[in-house]
Structure formats: structure tokens, C-alpha cells
Amino acid sequence: MTTTSRSESTNSFFDEYMQSSTGLKEFIENSQKALKTQYLKKVKTDYDTEQLERRLVLHSSLEMHASEIYTKEMFKRFQKELMKSTCYIVNSVKDNGTYMSKLYLVEKATLPENCRRKYRVTVFMYEKIECSCKKFEHSGMICKHIIHYLDKKQKIKIPESLIMGRWTMNGNKITGPLPYAPPAIGNDGASQPLRYGALCKSFQDLAASGSCSVSRYKY
């Protein structure tokens, strides 16, 4: 998402609560309403993620594990990769030049053999796995090539090295001390509006961080 699209998204969110004629007092009150609405939406999403039953399509061990760890949206993405993985085959490469890793070639079986693209799945020690498609590195979601390899090896769980914490159900339940950074107001800090805006953002960041868990909230 570009800076422009992020700005437009933010503006559209506040359009319902702000107008060009909005005064300072009304601005603060409406900002609180907007943040409360956003918070309630987040609470509902968290509830749906934790309480609503996931619909399985293949009923495999990997899919069951994914349903237990991923958020609702990321589980849907996993299922798409899982369904695509059924069209692939995997072959091991006996001599890949190193004893520290094993190399596998994954290709789409539904294509003519001379049109197949071979993806390199490298398995290192301690269950670290990489694929030449680099989907996991780019999006944080495990790719269909690795899923197919795990399925063929009869793995019942996704390796921890292939699970991004921010895409899991407990990703927003952060523990530990509250991070703090002074609000950045630039070289024009003498301006009252800039100081006010910087402090408002700092307070919002603190509220977002402090609401992540009960221990943080009490702290």
C-alpha cells in the first residue's frame, strides 16, 4: 500500500466524524468516538477469530493445525494455498552439494512435463524451510510448494519457523514492558498545533499498546 492510499484510507475513516468546520473541542470528542468504533470492530474481529468454528475443506492435520493458530483471514489464505498444493508433486535431489540441507523440487503435475516450472524447496536443520518462490518472505504466508512438501512428509503441524506471530490468533496479545519513544515533532516543535498533533498521536500509540493485554492495561 502506497503512502497516498494509506492517507486516503485514513481520511475516509475520519470523514464520518470530522468536517472542515469542526472545532478543537468537537475534534477531540469525535476522535474519541472514532477510536472507540475502531476498537469495537477489533474486539468483534478477535471474538470471531477465537470463537467461531473454522470450516475445513480437506480435513488434513496441517489444515487442522492452521485453523487453531491463524486468524480468520489468514486461515482462508492458507486454505487457498492448501487447495493449490494438491496439484503438485515433489522429488528429492540426492546430491545437492551439502550435508547441512536437503533439496526438493516441486512442480505442477497438471501441466505438460516440458512446461513445468520447478520450485526449489530447501530443508535446513531445525525445521527451517525455504522455497525459491519466496512467498513466505514477501507475505508471511506459507506457500503451496512447502505445504505440499510437508504433506508428503506426513507432518501434522506447520513448523514454528514458518509461522508469523502477527498472523496468529494471539498476535495482538503482546506481553512485556510498554515501548516508549518521544513524539517526533521535527524542527518546528515551537508550533503549538504541531506539538498538539504529536502528543495526540503519542497518546493514541500508548492506548493501543496498553490495551493489548490485561497486564499492560493495569501497568
pLDDT of 6: 46
pLDDT of residue 44: 60
Taking a C-beta distance cutoff of 8 angstroms, is the pair 153, 129 a contact?
no
Residue 193 confidence (pLDDT) = 75
- Give backbone dihedrals phi and psi of 162, rounded to 5 degrees, phi first: -110, 20
Per-residue confidence band for 189, with pLDDT thresholds at 50, 70 and 90: low
Write the pLDDT tens digit of every residue in 16-64.
Answer: 656 666 666 677 777 777 777 776 666 565 555 555 567 888 889 999 9
pLDDT reported for residue 219: 74
Query: Which of the pair, 172 or 112, is modelled with greater confidence?
Result: 112
Spatial separation of the C-alpha atoms in residues 11 and 4, rounded to whole Å: 11
Distance CA 22, CA 149 (A): 58
Residue identified by cell 496439484 is: 87
Q: For the full predicted model, state whether its pTM sits above 0.85.
A: no
Chain centroid to Cα 192, Å, comes to: 37
Domains of the chain, by residue range, sit at 24-50, 61-167, 173-219
Could you tell me the pLDDT band of residue 204, with boundaries at 50, 70 and 90?
Answer: confident
